[in-house]
Structure 1
Amino acid sequence: MNNFNYTKAESIDQAVSAVATQSEGQFIAGGTNLIDLWKYDLTHPEMLVDLNGLSELKAISELPDGGLRLGALVSNNATAYHPLVQERYPLLSRTILAGATAQIRNSATNGGNLLQRTRCYYFYDAASPCNKRNPGSGCPAITGHNRLHAILGESEHCIAVYPSDMSVALAALEATVRVTGPEGAREIPIADFHRLPGAEPARDNTLGAGELITSIDLPSTGFADHHSYLKLRDRNSYAFALVSVATGLEIEGGRIRNARIALGGVAHKPWRVPAAEAILVDKAPTPEAFAEAADLLLAGATGYGHNDFKIELARRAIIRNGMMALDPSTQRPGAQPSL
């Protein structure tokens, strides 16, 4: 680890100013990913700006339109167990609790969760070439061991996947990320927050230089009655997803009136295809209907050898999770949906 300067921010504006004036300045809150990256010699901050004194970012509050504002510094655990989140947005609560150990969730913050870097083996190996670390050096995962890697939205420059569970639910809920930077405050729809790799895989998101996440705003629609999060992984205890699916449904008279489906573990960002959701509207929630949606969601999916299985795994997961969303009680350990 390199030598660094440290300051504790007393206001949002001070924090933004401190990072904006440093070429290698970084914010730190829980530090659960930043410290890992630092230990692996993948990042070298010259200035750390500690956000933990900013009490205004540590609240969860109701919005006038019926939505909910999640402060960027609220811990993942506090968010998952907050009564309003559990009541109105149980999909988000379940998703967060599937994401990591209780110890990590107690430290990790909502804002930091959005900023996680990929868990690609080659990215974390400083001795390997990696276009995310060293643009132009290549992507060894394409021809190497790629079992965890992307089947959608990838490019010739990068096939890494984005690891956050929480963000998959936020994508399904159509959350909004509020940020403040040197140019002022702005709002970013969650669909526009994370990037596909394209020709610039080193850029994970659309934040500008020095911009700080201040909150995540949830809309009034939370799919409290019909929702499910299915996370398929190599082991059942705190592993990253091979494929995950967040599904929210509104059902009236036995027909789907609104549907949201987001995939994790398959792309460089949470994966949604609005046309796949639209095809479900006015249909009965059946395996056949969800299979149609799955075909649209996975159109163009490409395997790279070790991860070929993900395509069929994702298809089956979409169908299964759609049926599970009809009755959230099927998400108890060992429970099975009715097919």
Structure 2
Amino acid sequence: MREFEYQRAFDVAGAVALLGADPDTRFLGGGTNLVDLMKSGVERPARLVDIRELPLDEIQSAPDGSLRIGATVTNGDLAAHPEVRRRFPALAQAVLAGASGQLRNMATVGGNLLQRTRCGYFTDVTQPCNKRVPGTGCPAIEGEHHNHAILGASGHCVAVHPSDMAVALAAFDAVVHFATADGPGEVPLADFYLPVGDTPHRETVLPAGALITGITLPPAPVAAHSRYRKIRERASYAFAIGSLAAALDVQDGVVRDARLALGAVASRPWRAAAAERVLIGAPADAETYVAAADAELAAARPLPHNGYKVDLVRNLVVAVLTELAEEAAR
């Protein structure tokens, strides 16, 4: 590991100033992803700025009914918060599915959004990787790609985003807040992650030197009846091979509102807008759920060894929507 300086920040402006003064500086939250990447040589910062003392560790309800989550809130505190569990149960479930208790107690909300892909070619510095070193190629396309993207990929990168939490946030129209030397800013999570295109090394729209300060979840009555389901290759904590955050409002046998987002299928959390359009106003039955899944998966372009994800996601969507509808009818 490269030697590095360590410094603590105690206010947002000071933290932003420290990062802006040195492009080789990185913010350190829980470090559960960054430190791993430093050990493997993927990240080689000259200085770490510890932001855990910043006043960004609260979850607050706003008068308009939205929920504001500070960037340094730990994943453990997020999953345990009574308002999150009551109003956005899929978010709490996603966080609990994401890692062990020890990791949840260290990892932060802001860091979770910015975690890097777990593609083996990205994390192995002896291998070429367009995401790590632009222009070197994507060996996953011809190599090991059984857990890679089936939606939104390109000939430059087929890696998937690893976050469970971000999938649930995508389903509920979260907004990301950040601070820069020029002042505060915000961006919808739907626009936060960039399409992979021919620049996979550019992952978010965050300006250079920006610090994520929090996330806002706008009021969403449908979210109170939501679920996160994660499929993984082993029962212990592992990254998803497919996941779904879903919420459903059914009245008189008709879907009145629906929210769906998929995980482990693209370079970013995948809002299933095509599926939602099929669902809303349609009968709450298996035929509708299959049609919704197929509408979203029509754009899937699987590789030779990950085509199973198409069937997996279709079955996952149908199963979870069926469960939600049956619960609503009780």
TM-score of the pair, normalised by structure 1: 0.94
Letter in 1 for 2:292: A
For the residues of structure 1 that align with 2:235 and 2:117, how far apart are their CA atoms? 20
After superposition, the CA RMSD in angstroms is: 1.6
Query: What is the total number of aligned residue pairs between the two structures?
Result: 330
Matched residue of 2:245: which SS?
A: strand
User: Equivalent residue for 1:232?
Assistant: 231
Unpaired stretches in structure 1, ≥5 consecutive residues: 330-337
How far 1:169 sits from its partner (Å)?
Answer: 0.3
Is 1:41–2:41 an aligned residue pair? yes
User: Equivalent residue for 1:31?
Assistant: 31
Kindly provide the CA deviation profile for residues 52-108 of structure 1, in whole angstroms up to 9, marking residues without a partner as x.
Answer: 111x20001111210110111010010001011111111111111011001000000
For the residues of structure 1 that align with 2:284 and 2:168, how far apart are their CA atoms? 20
Kindly provide the CA deviation profile for residues 117-160 of structure 1, in whole angstroms up to 9, marking residues without a partner as x.
Answer: 00001111110000011111000000001011000000000000
Kindly provide the CA deviation profile for residues 271-324 of structure 1, in whole angstroms up to 9, marking residues without a partner as x.
Answer: 123232022112222111111111121122112111111111111111111112
Aligned residues of 2:89 and 2:225 also touching (Cα < 8 A)? no
User: Equivalent residue for 1:335?
Assistant: none
Identity of aligned residues (%): 47
For the residues of structure 2 that align with 1:66 and 1:225, how far apart are their CA atoms? 13
User: Equivalent residue for 1:314?
Assistant: 313
User: Equivalent residue for 2:175?
Assistant: 176
Letter in 1 for 2:190: A
For the residues of structure 2 that align with 1:113 and 1:327, how far apart are their CA atoms? 32
For the residues of structure 2 that align with 1:194 and 1:328, how far apart are their CA atoms? 33
User: Equivalent residue for 2:304?
Assistant: 305
For the residues of structure 1 that align with 2:166 and 2:101, how far apart are their CA atoms? 18
Letter in 2 for 1:48: L
Q: 1:61 to 1:304 in 2, by over 3 A?
A: same
For the residues of structure 2 that align with 1:86 and 1:67, how far apart are their CA atoms? 14
Is 1:255–2:240 an aligned residue pair? no
Aligned residues of 1:6 and 1:48 also touching (Cα < 8 A)? yes
Aligned residues of 1:272 and 1:297 also touching (Cα < 8 A)? no
How far 1:222 sits from its partner (Å)?
Answer: 4.9
Letter in 2 for 1:32: T
For the residues of structure 1 that align with 2:143 and 2:182, how far apart are their CA atoms? 42
Matched residue of 2:98: which SS?
A: coil
Is 1:294–2:293 an aligned residue pair? yes
User: Equivalent residue for 2:109?
Assistant: 110
For the residues of structure 2 that align with 1:196 and 1:202, how far apart are their CA atoms? 11
TM-score of the pair, normalised by structure 2: 0.97
How far 1:50 sits from its partner (Å)?
Answer: 0.7
Matched residue of 2:270: which SS?
A: coil
Letter in 2 for 1:112: G
For the residues of structure 2 that align with 1:37 and 1:137, how far apart are their CA atoms? 19
User: Equivalent residue for 2:200?
Assistant: 201
Aligned residues of 1:225 and 1:328 also touching (Cα < 8 A)? no
